[in-house]
Amino acid sequence: MTISTLDAQTALVVIDLQNGIVNSPQPPADGASAPQTADVVSRSKALAAAFRAQGLPVVLVNVAGSPAGRNETPRRLPADIPAEFFALVDGLAESEDDILVTKRSLGAFATTDLHDRLRERGVTQLVFTGISTSVGVESSARHAYDLGYNVAFAVDAMTDRSAAAHENSVSTVFPRLGESGTTEEILGLLADRK
């Protein structure tokens, strides 16, 4: 599990690190392990700062709705949620150059203009962090892969409500979509670019 290189035009994509998700009660552990939410936020902030320092795009995604289709689980976002729920966690949005995206779908591409905005900047690779590994991150990464981006994952900067789901995405799905590594490894690759 390692990231071999970062393209000259790589963007960081931070999924759903917003108050209502980060501060929601976490379910009891299900026997597996996944990074703690506070660590995910801290590592994502460190990666965002390093990307900005290199002049590379940082994409901050929040979710403000659900897809229209039916499914067996109840909608997670009722209509009467206060606006603060959707706000990004403090200290994450630090630059006016960040790309802010509000999605109303599982992934960051289907209901947004993210692909166009990345192509305008010549981005060829995306590094993903955020919540939740098996839903928002995985859905966004699958779509990115299908669009032709080189995909990478900072696996210690993402987590899931289910540790087993997190582990399944990291060990089974992500190797088919791209390369995985740690925050420290990605920070090292960024530092080597100077």
CATH code assigned at 64? 3.40.50.850
Structural domain that includes position 134: 10-27+43-191
Tell me whether residue 152 is in a domain: yes
Residue 38 lies in a domain: no
Instruction: Tell me the C-alpha distance between 166 and 172, whole Å.
Output: 10
Q: Is residue 35 a part of any domain in this protein?
A: no
Q: Is residue 37 part of a domain?
A: no
Task: Report phi then psi at 49, rounded to 5.
Answer: -60, -40
Cβ-based burial of 59 (10 A; exposed 0-12, middle 13-18, buried ≥19): buried
pLDDT of the chain along its 194 residues, tens only? 689 999 999 999 999 999 988 988 665 555 556 789 999 999 999 999 999 999 999 999 999 876 666 666 655 555 677 778 888 999 998 899 999 999 999 999 999 999 999 999 999 999 999 999 999 999 999 999 999 999 999 999 999 988 899 999 999 999 999 999 999 999 999 999 86
Find the Cα–Cα–Cα–Cα dihedral 103, 106, 112, 116, rounded to 10°: 130
> Is 54 part of a structural domain of the chain?
yes
- Give the tokens for residue 36: 């703690």
Domain membership of residue 34 (yes or no) is: no
User: What domain count does the chain have?
Assistant: 1
And the tokens for 154?
């900072």
Residue 193 parent element (H or E)? none
Tell which phi-psi region holds residue 76, choosing left (phi > 0), alpha (psi between -120 and 50) or beta: alpha
pTM to 2 decimal places: 0.91
Q: How many residues are recorded in the chain?
A: 194
100 located within any domain: yes
Please count the CA atoms within 13 angstroms of the CA of 72 that sit on its side-chain side: 0
Whether residue 183 lies inside any domain: the answer is yes
